[in-house]
Structure 1
């Protein structure tokens, strides 16, 4: 089930690195239980922060180069980009308020 938040490597540079608002990137995979567990929270945060921040999902199986570029070793990995640079990172599943705090720190 592909989410509307899903993105390819080609879109990443434009949508994430050149974004004028902070971007939360969820590196995940279909086979990853914890990734699926936080999926609904990620989708809800995309709605909650619409206009103030972006939320995107990167499937590490189909976009392995991107995962490698950012040294993603275990998933889920949540990485916040601001002004084209990584400013925050959290590895592992976490409750929605904890994920929201990642975005809040970048706003």
Structure 2
């Protein structure tokens, strides 16, 4: 499936999760969010910047927790925004909370090749 334009982050559903995340050939950052979550809205442009800057080495997707509760439950998401990094089909790191770009980049550094 071709990638959408640079800087945009595709939504993942229960149906597309296996293909986009579990079978991905590069690390995947998942942002768990909801439109009513102020910190989620504030951190989204930062996540989109990182997605554009690291498109060659990192795939970035988002999960709307109200529309995909099973994915949120499976990842034990209790607070949003929450982030999970997958590498080789398995979760390797996670954290919660909006953070400045420098913190997000630091957390992702091991996966950016």
Separation of aligned partners in 2, 1:102 and 1:11: 25
Please name the residue that 1:60 is paired with: 65
Structure (1 or 2) with the greater helix fraction: 1
What SS does the corresponding residue of 1:57 show, helix, strand or coil? strand
> Does residue 96 in structure 1 map to residue 98 in structure 2?
no
Residues 1:75 and 1:83: Cα distance change in structure 2 (over 3 Å): same
Q: Which runs of 4+ in 1 moved over 6 A?
A: none
**Aligned residue pairs, count:** 105
Cα RMSD, aligned residues only: 1.1
Specify every segment of 5 or more residues in structure 2 that has no aligned partner in the other structure, as ranges. Answer: 1-7
Residues 1:75 and 1:22: Cα distance change in structure 2 (over 3 Å): same
Specify every segment of 5 or more residues in structure 1 that has no aligned partner in the other structure, as ranges. Answer: none
Write out per-residue CA displacement over residues 52-99 of structure 1, whole angstroms, 9 at most, x where no aligned residue: 110111000001000001100100001100011111111011001211
